């Protein structure tokens, strides 16, 4: 295949992967985080019998389902695109990567779809505690789903438990437990899941806060929204602290197994001891020349090594090291001139945006807890803007985090084993790949407009009046078509 | 039995489950504009599959994942080779899935009419294309020595492939009509049953031609037996519909699809994707498989967790 063409195909395939995966992961954390909060609301209703908890359950349940639908349908593409655009990757790693993906499908999809179905259609058929349990099981399903897919991703960051078989030309699994308990996975899963709780919490917080301070909201309902604000804020704050803590652990493991990614996160060209962390830098476009920078001494050393005086290796030294270990970079012709080096401005800024937005959201949650203490209700335009931004900012932070970790792994698809350039499907034409990326991007854009429109509509409407759910012991009371109107 | 054979069988079971189950909701989706004449009837039609369609769709996700894990080469060749048809199927499934979820979320006739179109086309397209894809898998496609598919989309649109598409389309339509007859009442039930009988006769003709052709290309005695069972089940189903025994009729089309797909997998075995260029290039259950260690782990996971999930 001509060189030029393979480059184009690689670009297109990478853009598609980036677009559809980031898009998919906008919805997933909301699903994971919100399923727990909704299950919590419903559990509180079952235990206290207070109307407000059931109203909150149903209100956020509706928003949850709108969001869940997009997460599910875009998940289908995720599973198929490895074979479609990355067939050589699939051949090379299928023996290892396929298993967690398939187990995810078997366990998590069945659990999620079955129990969410029971939850949607079971209001008048299941005892209340059992109905609430369904949502908890959905939540467990989403966590399992996350665990297996993150184990697969962690293997790409730090391949373990395998051997390269020269006869078949592929990586083959030798130790499944090593893959499941990869040390990268041990920090990635907690980091991702706490980020999901933070995202779900901030969603509930933002929506409830907006409804609480909105003029149109009936005064009788403000106390209910206030409850959701307090719960959402508490979840966001606690989860936010968890994100920071696990992120710190993750940084240290990352420095150990992928030192280049940490160097790229800081645009640290030469090894420093101790290394400073820059909050903000203006440099040349390729990131190699620095014009202006605000630096905090020793912080990078701490993030990377746990010690304020630790040594952090720089991009130039690592590049020489990698060249010696892996030979000339097979992807060098594509990534020239920075062989073995990710695109530095992207890793630098996504790392900062991820952390900055995360801290901002956790801080905002803390602030809101403070200003709503002892039944106070704040007012003013600034608060409205904060409320509107809260559901969105964690989503952006999640996206930046994934862009950082995936772009920071480049030029590797599987670190140290397979470059992204060699992972792409050799048999797919540029025309086919272009058709695919354009079709999916346009489709996803339309879906985003529809989804946001629906969300806004249902948020504006607020929680419905309390209706006592029918007692399942009395059996179905009406013969109207199923209550959940399709 | 070899673990590769076990996993080939499991994947076959997943596809059989998928076609038997999603087959009727594809059929119902396609019949939505045909059988329902008012908004209430449309609601009734959609509500028959409302609670089940996404559970049905999970089967194909698991089949895809199991193929990736157990036969990575099959997954890679198939999905990169049948690129555009798969893309179209994915788009259809996305649009269709959202249509079920979002249709009732706005009280607006035009909004609903648009989603109804999405349900119709989102059901029609995969109903045809899955048939085209499977006919081509069984017949064989050009695969080179590097296990790469070297045809293009037009290669798949050969007469045999197209007939496969028409067969699944007709089968799913009949299956869906019988499901509606079973699940609804009143006028719409009678219309669904009458249509099922008409469709069923056409389906029987198309299916018999397609299965006979398949048998001629690659069949064995075992596959022939399954194809005969499929034909018997289908004819029995149509007869039951004629006798207004909708339950038995639905079981008939359900069994017909199950037997037919079983026969296709039996005819395929031990290949998973035969090559039309050189039999040496064919992907088989052995040369496309994962290592026995991976298959062993997957088997344990399946044995331990499938019963839990099904409970």
**Model pLDDT for residues B136-175, shown as the tens digit of each residue:** 999 999 999 888 898 888 899 999 999 999 999 999 999 9
CB-nearest partner of B72 from A90, A105, A114:
A90
Residue A212 near residue A184, CB atoms below 8 Å: no
State whether residue A122 is helix, strand or coil.
Answer: coil
Residue A97 has pLDDT above 70, yes or no: yes
Interface contact A84-B79, CB threshold 8 A? yes
Residue A331 has pLDDT above 70, yes or no: no
Residue A484 has pLDDT above 60, yes or no: no
Interface test with B, best of A16, A62, A64, A83 (most B CBs within 10 A): A83
> What is the least distance, in Å, from the CA of B310 to any CA of chain A?
8
Beta bridge partners of A281: A293
Cβ of B62 under 8 Å from any chain A Cβ? yes
CB-nearest partner of A90 from B75, B87, B291:
B75
What pLDDT sits at residue A337? 40
Q: What is the pLDDT of residues A185-215, one digit of tens each?
A: 999 999 999 999 999 999 999 999 999 988 8
Which whole number is the average pLDDT over A86-111? 85
d(CA A374, CA B259): 68
Cβ of A174 under 8 Å from any chain B Cβ? yes
Calculate what percentage of chain B has a pLDDT beyond 90: 60
Interface test with A, best of B64, B155, B183 (most A CBs within 10 A): B64
Confidence band of B262 (pLDDT split at 50, 70, 90): very high
B78 to chain A: which residues are within 8 Å by CB?
83
Cβ of B26 under 8 Å from any chain A Cβ? no
Interface contact B100-A486, CB threshold 8 A? yes
Residue A291 near residue A282, CB atoms below 8 Å: yes
A169 to chain B: which residues are within 8 Å by CB?
none
ipTM of the complex: 0.88
Least confident among A7-16, A204-213, B219-228: A7-16
Residue A242 near residue A194, CB atoms below 8 Å: yes
B95 to chain A: which residues are within 8 Å by CB?
443
- CB contact set of B111 (below 8 Å; sequence gap of 6+): B103
Cβ of A448 under 8 Å from any chain B Cβ? no
What pLDDT sits at residue B58? 83
d(CA A308, CA A99): 41
Which whole number is the average pLDDT over B48-52? 84
Q: How many CB pairs under 8 A join A and B?
A: 207
What pLDDT sits at residue A473? 58
The mean pLDDT value of chain A amounts to 85
Tokens describing residue B75 = 């997954």
Interface contact A106-B84, CB threshold 8 A? no
| Bond preceding residue A361 cis, omega within 30 of 0 | no
Q: What is the pLDDT of residues B5-41, one digit of tens each?
A: 999 999 999 999 999 999 999 999 999 999 888 888 8
> What is the least distance, in Å, from the CA of A268 to any CA of chain B?
39
Which whole number is the average pLDDT over A9-13? 89
Which whole number is the average pLDDT over A131-135? 93
Least confident among A146-155, B258-267, B300-309: B300-309
Cβ of B142 under 8 Å from any chain A Cβ? no
Cβ of A308 under 8 Å from any chain B Cβ? no
- CB contact set of A240 (below 8 Å; sequence gap of 6+): A194, A198, A358, A359, A361, A362, A365
Residue A485 has pLDDT above 70, yes or no: no
CB-nearest partner of B76 from A91, A99, A106:
A91
Which whole number is the average pLDDT over B222-244? 92
Least confident among A265-269, A385-389, B250-254, B279-283: A265-269
What pLDDT sits at residue A481? 41
What pLDDT sits at residue A482? 39
204-243 in chain B: CB under 8 A from chain A: none
Q: What is the pLDDT of residues A428-438, one digit of tens each?
A: 888 899 999 99
CB-nearest partner of A101 from B69, B106, B152:
B69
Long-range contacts for B189-198 (Cβ within 8 Å, ≥24 apart)?
B189/B246, B191/B35, B192/B31, B192/B35, B193/B241, B193/B244, B193/B246, B193/B249, B195/B31, B195/B34, B195/B35, B196/B238, B196/B241, B196/B249, B197/B238, B197/B241, B197/B242
Element (H, E) at A291: strand A290-296
Which whole number is the average pLDDT over A86-103? 90
CB-nearest partner of A447 from B62, B72, B98:
B98
What pLDDT sits at residue B310? 64
What pLDDT sits at residue A86? 93
Cβ of A73 under 8 Å from any chain B Cβ? yes
Residue B134 has pLDDT above 70, yes or no: yes
Cβ of A95 under 8 Å from any chain B Cβ? yes
Cβ of B104 under 8 Å from any chain A Cβ? yes
Q: What is the pLDDT of residues A382-395, one digit of tens each?
A: 888 999 999 999 99
Cβ of A130 under 8 Å from any chain B Cβ? no
Reported residue count of chain A is: 486
Residue A224 has pLDDT above 50, yes or no: yes
pTM greater than the 0.95 cutoff: no
| Bond preceding residue B270 cis, omega within 30 of 0 | yes
- Identify the residue whose tokens are 């590769």: B4
Which whole number is the average pLDDT over A254-280? 84
Q: What is the pLDDT of residues A335-369, one digit of tens each?
A: 444 478 888 888 888 998 999 999 999 999 999 99
Residue A59 near residue A462, CB atoms below 8 Å: yes
Interface contact A102-B65, CB threshold 8 A? yes
d(CA B282, CA B269): 11
A481 to chain B: which residues are within 8 Å by CB?
43-44, 47
Residue A5 has pLDDT above 70, yes or no: no
Confidence band of A328 (pLDDT split at 50, 70, 90): low
Confidence band of A147 (pLDDT split at 50, 70, 90): very high
Cβ of B106 under 8 Å from any chain A Cβ? yes
Q: Where are the beta strands (DSSP E) in A379-480?
A: 412-414, 418-419
More confident residue, B121 or A308: B121
State whether residue B275 is helix, strand or coil.
Answer: strand
Interface contact A79-B44, CB threshold 8 A? no
């Amino acid at each position: 295949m001509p060189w030029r063409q393979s480059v184009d195909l690689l670009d297109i395939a990478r853009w598609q992967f980036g677009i559809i995966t980031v898009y998919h992961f906008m919805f997933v954390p909301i699903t994971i985080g919100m399923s727990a909060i909704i299950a919590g609301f419903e559990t509180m209703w079952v235990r206290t019998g207070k109307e407000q908890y059931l109203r909150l359950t149903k209100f956020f349940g509706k928003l949850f389902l709108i969001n869940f639908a997009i997460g599910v349908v875009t998940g289908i593409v995720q599973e198929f695109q490895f074979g479609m655009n990355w067939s050589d990757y699939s051949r090379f790693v299928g023996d290892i990567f396929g298993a967690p993906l398939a187990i995810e499908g078997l366990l998590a999809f069945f659990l999620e779809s079955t129990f969410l179905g029971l939850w949607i259609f079971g209001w008048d058929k299941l005892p209340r505690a059992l109905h609430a349990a369904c949502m908890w099981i959905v939540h467990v399903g989403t966590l399992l789903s996350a665990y297996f897919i993150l184990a697969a991703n962690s293997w790409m960051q730090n391949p373990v438990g395998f051997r390269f078989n020269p006869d078949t030309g592929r990586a083959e699994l030798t130790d499944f437990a090593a893959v499941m308990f990869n040390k990268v996975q041990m920090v990635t899963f907690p980091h991702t899941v706490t980020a999901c709780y933070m995202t779900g919490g901030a969603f509930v917080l933002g929506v409830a806060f907006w409804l609480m301070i909105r003029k149109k909201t009936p005064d009788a309902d403000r106390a209910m929204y206030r409850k959701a604000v307090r719960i959402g804020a508490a979840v966001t704050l606690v989860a936010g602290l968890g994100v920071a803590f696990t992120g710190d652990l993750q940084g240290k493991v990352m420095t150990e197994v992928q030192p280049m990614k940490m160097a790229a996160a800081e645009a640290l060209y030469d090894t420093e001891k101790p290394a400073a962390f820059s909050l903000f830098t203006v440099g040349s476009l390729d990131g190699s020349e620095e014009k202006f920078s605000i630096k905090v001494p020793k912080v990078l050393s701490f993030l990377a090594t746990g010690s304020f005086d630790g040594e952090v290796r720089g991009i130039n030294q690592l590049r020489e090291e990698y060249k010696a270990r892996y030979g000339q970079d097979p992807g060098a012709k594509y990534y020239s001139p920075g062989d073995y080096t990710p695109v530095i401005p992207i890793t630098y800024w996504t790392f900062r945006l991820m952390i900055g937005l995360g801290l901002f959201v956790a801080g905002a949650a803390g602030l809101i807890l403070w200003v709503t203490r002892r039944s106070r209700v704040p007012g003013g335009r600034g608060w409205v803007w904060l409320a509107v931004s809260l559901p969105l900012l964690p989503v952006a932070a999640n996206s930046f985090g994934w862009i950082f970790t995936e772009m920071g792994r480049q030029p590797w698809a599987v670190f140290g084993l397979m470059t992204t350039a060699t992972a792409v499907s050799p048999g797919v034409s540029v025309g086919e790949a272009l058709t695919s990326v354009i079709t999916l991007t346009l489709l996803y854009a339309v879906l985003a407009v529809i989804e946001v429109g629906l969300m806004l509509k249902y948020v504006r409407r607020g929680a419905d009046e309390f209706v006592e759910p029918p007692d399942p012991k009395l059996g179905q009371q009406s013969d109207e078509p199923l209550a959940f109107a399709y | 039995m070899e673990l590769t054979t076990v996993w080939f069988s499991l994947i076959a079971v997943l596809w059989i489950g998928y076609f038997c189950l999603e087959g009727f909701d594809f059929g119902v989706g396609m019949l939505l504009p045909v059988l329902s004449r008012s908004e209430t009837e449309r609601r009734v039609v959609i509500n028959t599959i409302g609670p089940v369609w996404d559970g049905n769709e999970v089967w194909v996700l698991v089949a895809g994942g199991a193929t990736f894990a157990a036969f990575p080469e099959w997954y890679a060749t198939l999905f990169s080779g049948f690129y555009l048809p798969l893309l179209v199927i994915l788009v259809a499934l996305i649009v269709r899935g959202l249509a079920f979820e979002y249709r009732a979320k706005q009280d607006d006739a035009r909004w609903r009419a648009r989603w109804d179109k999405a349900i119709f086309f989102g059901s029609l397209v995969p109903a045809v294309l899955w048939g085209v894809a499977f006919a081509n898998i069984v017949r064989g496609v050009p695969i080179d020595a590097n296990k790469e598919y070297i045809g293009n989309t037009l290669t798949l649109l050969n007469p045999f492939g197209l007939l496969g598409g028409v067969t699944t389309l007709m089968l799913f339509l009949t299956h869906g009509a019988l499901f509606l007859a079973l699940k609804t009442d009143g006028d719409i039930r009678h219309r669904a049953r009458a249509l099922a009988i008409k469709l069923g006769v056409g389906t029987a003709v198309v299916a018999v031609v397609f299965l006979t052709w398949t048998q001629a290309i690659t069949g064995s005695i075992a596959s022939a037996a399954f194809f005969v069972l499929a034909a018997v089940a289908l004819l029995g189903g149509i007869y039951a519909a004629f006798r207004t025994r909708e339950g038995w009729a639905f079981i008939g089309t359900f069994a017909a699809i199950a037997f037919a797909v079983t026969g296709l997998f039996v005819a395929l075995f031990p290949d998973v994707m035969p090559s039309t260029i050189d039999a040496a290039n064919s992907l088989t259950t052995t040369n496309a498989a994962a290592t026995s260690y991976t298959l062993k782990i997957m088997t344990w996971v399946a044995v331990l967790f499938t019963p839990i999930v099904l409970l």
